[in-house]
Structure formats: structure tokens, C-alpha cells
Amino acid sequence: MSGLVLEQFSARHENGPPVVHSVDLSFTRGAVTALIGPNGAGKSTLLKAILGLVPATGTARLDDTPLSGLSRRDRARRMAYVPQRSRLTARLSVQSVVELGRFAHRGPFANLTADDRTAVHTALADTGTDHLADRPFPELSGGEQQRVLLARALATGATTLLLDEPTSALDVRQALLLHRVLRTLADRNHCVITVLHDLSEVRRHADAAVLLHEGRVVRAGPVDTVVHPDPIRQVYGVELVATEGLEFRLPEAP
């Protein structure tokens, strides 16, 4: 199966006890998979372990290639990470920030090639941030910054994307814009893995979900089997009430 497969995969922080315990998971291409669970469940640690940013044991394969056999540069070309928020304060232009995504394809002091420029242009266009290219990154709104960070990830050329709570600080429009981009990427056969807290958001925008609790998988599969009364009661200690709720969507393009 193409995508990311974890077997008996455990993770911990440096010099700390295990945070994620022997999970077996598959993340398929062509789908948006949400990682859900209470604070401290191990969601962010799992993402960082997949990326090689924290210590891990077990097996991880990307399209049948063991991640342990990939160099940091090769891994960066195949997988990209979008953090919850940016710590970038330098007054770099949006264009320059997205160009940083090409680092794994060139030397540290090499000039951008034609392929690099094409990848950057495409990433800006795909995320709807091309009109911001000359703006200083720190002056953007939170939602605009988040889409620029996604553009930086796309500029790597990676087709497996890992996002850590990308909509946590966004207003409803910016969140919808970001989800629209993720859906487009999944439709292009990307493997999209995103940490989300809002379960209604998961229901609307994800194809599959993984419910984590205390570093272990409680349930994984299609959203309607995971965001379900029994596992939600077990993990969150709340009753899941089926209501129509509020729904939002972007207006159709003229």
C-alpha cells in the first residue's frame, strides 16, 4: 500500500520516557488523516518522530522505503512539516520564506535553479499566497502565515505532508481556505496527516482519523468510526451528541 506505514513505532523526547507506545498505523495517499486526542496524547510527538526530530524505535516505511535508510536530505525531499505557528521574526519576504523549502534540493550557498523557481511559483499559486509574495512575512495575519508555511512545505516537492494543529489560531475563513488546499493536495494523491482538536472540523474535512490517548491508538479508520460515541466517551469522558450544528463553506467562485 502506498503511503506511510508504522509498525511497533514508539517515540520519546530526548532523554525522556516513551510518549508514543508501539503503534501500528497506515496513512494512505489520496486521503486527509486527522490525528485526534486530548492534550498530551502524543499527537505532536508522533509527527516529530516520523520526521526524525525526536528519538523513535520500530519500523516506518514511506512507499515501501524504510525511513531509517534515508538521509536527512532525502527525508526532507519526501516529507514536509508545517508547524502550529511560525517563530520566524526576520523581515523576510513571503517569496524568500517559500524559497527556503528548496534547501534540500541545493547546496547552502547555491543560487535558485529554474526548477526551484518553478516549484516556488507553483507552491505560492496552490496556496493562494502568490499575491503576498513581496510582503514581509511577519506583517501577515495568522491565517496568511499558515498558508505561507504550507507553501514552503509544498515547495520541497514532498508528497507526504505533516501538519501540527494548522487551524488552531485561524478564523473560520482562513481555516476553510487551508482545508480547501489540503483537500486539493489529497486529490492529487498526496498523503496528508494533520493534528486537529475540533472534532466537528475532523468530521467535515478528514477522510480518516486516528484517536490517541496516553500515547496509544484507541481507534483508527474512517472518520465516522473514530469520531463515534463509544471511543469519544472512553477517551474524552464526554457524550457525543449528534446535531445538525453550524456548517460553513466558501462561496462559489464567480
What pLDDT is recorded for position 247?
Answer: 65
**What CA–CA distance (Å, rounded) separates 145 from 172?**
15
Asked if pLDDT for residue 243 goes beyond 70, the answer is: no
CB atoms within 10 A of CB 250: 11
What pLDDT is recorded for position 86?
Answer: 82
For residue range 50-76, list pLDDT tens digits in order.
999 999 999 999 999 999 989 888 998
% residues pLDDT > 90 (the chain): 75
CB atoms within 10 A of CB 234: 12
What helix, strand, coil percent values describe the chain, rounded to 5? 40, 25, 35
Closest CA relative to residue 193, chosen from 2, 32, 30, 10: 32
Give the global pTM: 0.91
CB atoms within 10 A of CB 69: 9
Count CA atoms closer than 13 A to 97's CA, side-chain side.
Answer: 32
For residue range 116-169, list pLDDT tens digits in order.
999 999 999 999 999 999 999 999 998 899 999 999 999 999 999 999 999 988
CB atoms within 10 A of CB 39: 7
Angle at CA 165, nearest 5°, toward 159 and 171? 110
CB 191 within 8 A of CB 78: no
